[in-house]
Amino acid sequence: MLSNTKSWQPIKDDTLVKNIEYVVKQIARKLQSPHAVLGEPLPGTGSLASGALGIALFYAELDRQYPDEQWDVIAHHYLVHVQTGMNANTFHSLSLWTGLSGAPVVASILARDRGRYQNFIEKLHIVMQPAIDEFIDQARERIGNNVFMPDYDVIDGLAGIGRYLLSFKEHSACKKNLIKALSYTVQLTEDIQLDDRIVPGWHIKSEDQFLEIEQKQYPNGNFNLGISHGIAGPFALLSLALLAGVEVAGQREAIRKLCSYYDKWKAEDEYGPIWPERISFEEQICGQMRNNFAHNASWCYGEPSIARVLWLAGEALGDTQIQSLAQKVYLSLVQRSVESFGFDSPTFCHGYAGALWMIQRMMMNTGSDVLAAYRETLINQLLNSFNENTAYGFQDIELGQPQDHPGLLTGAAGVALVLLSCLSLDEPEWDCMFMLK
């Protein structure tokens, strides 16, 4: 049954709350020195993905929930690390996750209407807006010819940059570039002619895939469906902007077209809807999947993030049928065993923390008791993976190898932030970065 209760539902079990608080505070202590964790400001150490901005976001949430414990002081020290890096020219992109666009959003969340960081934020706007304007022009020139994933994606491209702009839509220069980014995104969804075939405009050539194995697997390129590097990111931006009252010509039609595209490529396993991570050029042309694929519960490429984007699209269009499909995905997710997720890692990007948070987020919209019960299963899964003898308490597992990462996307700060936010009495702001709200 669809619901839009908008009621936040924190964990209420006293024992679970105490266990979460213990783990979160342990990680907070392990990460409390920016210099010890990150060293000197170097390229990458200030980023939202793996550096100071992401860790500052964790302390901003600690400050929001425990305002008398001075966690904002540590968050400020991380922002100083970011500022020092900016002064040393260690930021080499405009992107949300690896560049400058994350900084004003994090600073604004930390400020919490207390008047802090306004000069810092405004200086960033002034520096960034001309460069973003140029970035959009360059990306638009490649539509129909040679689109790159970092043109449009969430991690490096205009979907992520657009989310920063949407957060500051009342700022005139940000609003102007937001309109321009949305118009670019609408154009990206239009069909193009490629090798005498009509295909979607977000086609990525073989030589422009990130990994050599992908270049070999897709000799004629592919169409990426994930939220981190695929069209789900721009799809989310279009819907979030419409929900925020920002609309450009063709935006509704583009959202509707993308809904239809995901519906077309939806498959079913024994539990419910699933999607491939990518569609090859050949599959696009013949209209059928040729490669096998399986359920994926991750944020970066999985069903929960795709379903969340579809939910936002249905909300933006006022289409309950689209929202029903999204809800079906989540109800099928909780029928699966935790082991079937195929995760080794507790982290957000491709681990249990991301799956947990997306379930928490959908609980706000649906009020589902089934999701609430499964949330506790995933929380316990995370708590069981905590090890205070490791550098940061949680380790990222890549190809079976544990790695100590402090940051937000694949590190301990991201796991701790999710656990902490499950205790919140009201809705947090930070997951706008993941295109989930």
Q: Which has more pLDDT, 115 or 261?
A: 261
Residue 402 pairs in a beta bridge with: 397
Please say whether the beta carbons of 229 and 223 come within 8 A. no
Residue 243 lies in a domain: yes
- pLDDT at position 6 over 70: no
> What per-residue confidence (pLDDT) applies to 124?
98
Q: Is residue 404 part of a domain?
A: no
- 2 within some domain: no
pLDDT at 314 over 50: yes
The mean pLDDT of 320-338, rounded to a whole number, is 96
Query: Is 350 labeled as ligand-binding?
Result: yes
1 pLDDT band, cuts 50/70/90, is very low
Is the confidence at residue 198, as pLDDT, over 90? yes
Quote the domain boundaries for residue 326. Answer: 145-336
pLDDT digits (tens, 9 = 90+) for 55-92: 999 999 999 999 999 999 999 999 999 999 999 999 99
Domain annotation covers residue 354: no
Q: Is 229 annotated for ligand binding? A: no
Q: Is the pLDDT of residue 256 over 60?
A: yes
Q: How far is CA 314 from the centre of its chain?
A: 19
Q: Looking at residue 145, what is its pLDDT? A: 85
SS3 content of the chain, % helix, strand, coil (to 5): 55, 5, 40
**Does the structure show a pLDDT above 60 at 251?**
yes
Q: Residue 2: is its pLDDT beyond 60?
A: no
R_g of the chain computed on alpha carbons:
21
Tokens of 262: 């995901």
Listed in order, strand segments (DSSP E) in 278-320 are 278-280
Task: Indicate whether 273 pLDDT > 90.
Answer: yes
For residue 64, being part of any structural domain is answered with no
Q: According to the annotation, is 286 in a ligand binding site?
A: no
Q: In the predicted model, is pLDDT for residue 7 greater than 90? A: no
225 contacts 279 by C-beta, under 8 angstroms: yes
Does residue 103 lie within any of the structural domains?
A: no
Residue 37: is its pLDDT beyond 70? Answer: yes
Residue 276 has what pLDDT?
A: 97
Query: How do residues 292-310 score in pLDDT, each as one tens digit?
Result: 899 999 999 999 999 999 9
Over residues 170-197, mean pLDDT: 97
Residue with the larger pLDDT of the pair 340 and 124: 124
Domains held by the chain: number: 1
- Residues 250 and 196: their CA atoms lie apart, in Å, by 25
| pLDDT one-digit tens code per residue, 384-414 | 999 999 999 999 998 889 999 999 999 999 9
CATH number assigned to the domain comprising residue 211: 1.50.10.20
Question: Sorting pLDDT into bands at 50, 70 and 90, what band is 327?
Answer: very high
- pLDDT over 90 for what percent of the chain? 93
What is residue 113's predicted lDDT score, i.e. its pLDDT?
83
Q: What is the pLDDT of residue 398?
A: 86
Q: Is residue 280 part of a domain?
A: yes
Position 123 confidence tier, pLDDT thresholds 50, 70, 90: very high
In a domain, 321, yes or no: yes
As a whole number of angstroms, the distance between CA 435 and CA 428 comes to 14
- Compute the distance between CA of residue 330 and CA of residue 295 in angstroms, rounded to an integer: 12
CB 293 within 8 A of CB 280: no
**With 50 as the cut, is the pLDDT of residue 5 above it?**
no
Pairing of strands 267-268, 273-274: antiparallel
